[in-house]
Amino acid sequence: MSASVHREQPTEVTASRVELLTRAYLMEMETVANYLAASTNLDGVRAQEVVRALAADVDEELGHARRLATRLNQLGAVVPGSHARLREQDSLQPRIDSTDVEGVVRGVLEAEDGAIAHYRELIEDADGVDWVTQDLAISILADEEAHRRLFESFVREYERERP
């Protein structure tokens, strides 16, 4: 009796996937900085729930960055340092008005939309050729969609309060 041996093929690492992973990592690091700033700078009674949500998201987004850095390393890529940072989240930059809670929330929604679109692109790129990266992207996508849902509820509440 002869047993058939199935050997797994090594993960197909492409430059585009490394670029997508690197961009995801940099997006998460930019988000950490901006959510930390917003959760520290916002003032007012109305801001407290948003501050708590942002502070919790800082830890979660940093966890995403760690997982992405680990995957980049596993694929033989170099994890970028601070010189490679992104500067794309204009709507999340600190505000002169520290009580502009709705502006921060809308900035968070914009950042989450960008992350969701990016993780969907990464999932498609890895489909059928890099299941570990695809699984990672699916897991992070689920977290980003949950963040978006939470911040959408804040917007609905603000819109209901308007005359």
Predicted confidence (pLDDT) per residue in 31-88, tens digit: 999 999 999 999 998 899 999 999 999 999 999 999 999 999 999 999 999 888 889 9
Could you give the dihedral angle defined by the CA atoms of residues 40, 46, 49 and 52, in that order, rounded to the nearest 10 degrees?
10
Q: How many CB atoms lie within 10 A of CB 60?
A: 17
Cα end-to-end span (Å), the chain: 80
Q: How many CB atoms lie within 10 A of CB 132?
A: 12
Quick one: pLDDT at residue 159? 83
Is the CB of residue 107 less than 8 Å from the CB of residue 92? yes
Quick one: pLDDT at residue 84? 87
CATH topology of domain 15-87+96-161: Ferritin (1.20.1260)
Quick one: pLDDT at residue 11? 64
Quote the mean pLDDT of the chain.
Answer: 91
> Would you place residue 150 in the very low, low, confident or very high pLDDT band (cuts 50, 70, 90)?
very high
